C-alpha cells in the first residue's frame, strides 16, 4: 500500500490524510472545502486575490483558499468509485517515492554520519572569547557531495519547487 500521507496537502502543505474530493489534502482543507460546498458560500478577498495559502496562513483568506482548492482540482463530484486505474496508481506511487527521497535527503542533511561524528573543540582565548578550532577541514574535505548522485538529486529537488500558481484570474 502506498503511503499517501508522505505527500503534503496540495492546498496548504500541511500533513495530508488522504485523497479528499479528488485531491491529496489535510483534514483542515478537506473540512474547509466540504463546508464551502454545503453552504454554497461566496467569499471575497480583501486583498489582490492572490493570498499565500500555507499551513500557517490558510485561515486568513477563505476566498483564496477556496480558489486554490478549485485550481488544484477539488470537486464535490470527485468522490472515488471503485479502484484507481493502473495509470493513477503508478502516478501516485511515483509521487510517493519522490517525497520519500526528499524526506531521506532532508533527514540526511540534518544528521551527520554516525561513523564519523562531528565534535568541535573549543578553547578560551586570552580575551575571554571562545573560538572554534579549525579541525573541521578534515571532515569537510572528505564529505563534499560535488559531482555525486546526492548533489544532482538535491539540484533536481530545487528544480521541482514551484511557487503557487497565480490565482488572480480564478474568480467565481
Inform me whether the pLDDT recorded for 142 exceeds 50.
Answer: no
Stated pTM of the model: 0.52
pLDDT in tens, 61-117: 999 999 999 999 999 887 655 566 777 778 888 888 888 888 888 888 865 554 544
Q: Whole-angstrom Cα distance, residue 62 to residue 32?
A: 9
* Domains of the chain: residue spans and CATH: 1-108 (3.30.50.10)
What stretches of the chain show up as alpha helix (H) in DSSP?
27-38, 62-71, 86-110, 136-141, 149-160
pLDDT, tens only, 45-74: 999 999 999 999 999 999 999 999 999 999
Amino acid at each position: 500500500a502506498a503511503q499517501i500521507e508522505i505527500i503534503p496537502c496540495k492546498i496548504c502543505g500541511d500533513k495530508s490524510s488522504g485523497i479528499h474530493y479528488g485531491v491529496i489534502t489535510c483534514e483542515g482543507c478537506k473540512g474547509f472545502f466540504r463546508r464551502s460546498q454545503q453552504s454554497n458560500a461566496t467569499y471575497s478577498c480583501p486583498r489582490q486575490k492572490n493570498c499565500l495559502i500555507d499551513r500557517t496562513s490558510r485561515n486568513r483568506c477563505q476566498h483564496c483558499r477556496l480558489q486554490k482548492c478549485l485550481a488544484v482540482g477539488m470537486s464535490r463530484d470527485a468522490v472515488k468509485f471503485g479502484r484507481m486505474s493502473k495509470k493513477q496508481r503508478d502516478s501516485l506511487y511515483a509521487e510517493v517515492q519522490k517525497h520519500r527521497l526528499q524526506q531521506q535527503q532532508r533527514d540526511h542533511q540534518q544528521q551527520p554520519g554516525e561513523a564519523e561524528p562531528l565534535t568541535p573543540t573549543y578553547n578560551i582565548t586570552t580575551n575571554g572569547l571562545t573560538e572554534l578550532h579549525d579541525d573541521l577541514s578534515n571532515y569537510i574535505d572528505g564529505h563534499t557531495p560535488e559531482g555525486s548522485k546526492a548533489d544532482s538529486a538535491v539540484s533536481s529537488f530545487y528544480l521541482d519547487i514551484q511557487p503557487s500558481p497565480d490565482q488572480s484570474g480564478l474568480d467565481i
